[in-house]
Amino acid sequence: MKTFFSLLQKKLFAENAPLVMLVGLCPLLIASKTLISGLVMAAAISSVLIFSCVVISLVRKLIPDNVRLVAYMIIIATLVSVAEIMIRAYLPTHYVNLGIYIPIIASAGIVFAQADNVASKNGIVVSVIDGTLTAITFSIVIITVSFLRELLGSGTILSHRMIEEEYGMSFALSGGGGLVILGMLAAVVKKINSIKKSKKEGE
């Protein structure tokens, strides 16, 4: 359990996928206008990440090295399509909102990096743990960003009004606003990282 937390900490700060490695930004920016769409996207990406880790770590020895990227692409795209069908079936209202953006997960670097860096080199247990941690990291980031964007932009949280309508900053809802919020979060994580590093050096 202790190693799990230390691993999570490492994933959250030193190797934060969206904020330090800057992968998976496309779905992150697209689906973070409202908290609920952020939650749906987090669920979709998490399931795709974990299942792709399972499948790829299982078949990694069967796939020749020179076509591995293509094969991973097909596997990831299949899992994304399954996720899309599931969302269409069980969350139709969110499918209307997010539908055309779900397939973009297939091209998101976060899944692909995970598949090629971890799942193709490790056994199933290690890859699933690592994939889960990446999924948790991504979910935390997208939930934070979408929370801030919805609160600042529309003044609501899950469609409950929090701030008077006239104080809403519609800039936060635009793409630029999303990038600015993301940048601020990245700065915070970077600061924490540098503090940690200097502490380590001091010891």
Is 165:48 a contact under the CB 8 Å cutoff? no
Least Å distance, CB 198 to another protein, is 42
Determine the Cα–Cα distance for residues 94 and 33; give it in Å rounded to an integer.
13
Report if residue 5 touches another protein, rule: CB under 8 A: no
Among 47, 122, 174, 193, binds another protein (CB under 8 A): 174
Least Å distance, CB 122 to another protein, is 20
Determine the Cα–Cα distance for residues 56 and 61; give it in Å rounded to an integer.
9
Report if residue 89 touches another protein, rule: CB under 8 A: yes
Report if residue 1 touches another protein, rule: CB under 8 A: no
Among 58, 96, 180, 188, binds another protein (CB under 8 A): 96
Report if residue 63 touches another protein, rule: CB under 8 A: yes
Nearby residues of 120 by Cβ (< 8 Å), 6 or more positions away = 56, 57, 60, 68, 72
User: Please, which residue, 46 or 154, has the CB nearer to another protein?
Assistant: 154
Q: Using CB under 8 A, which residues numbered 34 to 53 contact another protein?
A: 34, 37
DSSP 175-197: HHHHHHHHHHHHHHHHHHHHHHH
Structure tokens at 131: 């994939």
Structure tokens at 44: 């979709």
Structure tokens at 158: 């899950």
Least Å distance, CB 126 to another protein, is 23
DSSP 147-171: HHHIIIIISEETTEE-S-GGG--GG
Report if residue 139 touches another protein, rule: CB under 8 A: no
Residue found under tokens 């800039």:
171
Binding-site ranges for another protein (CB under 8 A)? 33-34, 37, 59, 62-64, 66-67, 70-71, 74-75, 77-78, 81-82, 85-86, 88-90, 92-93, 96-98, 154, 170, 173-174
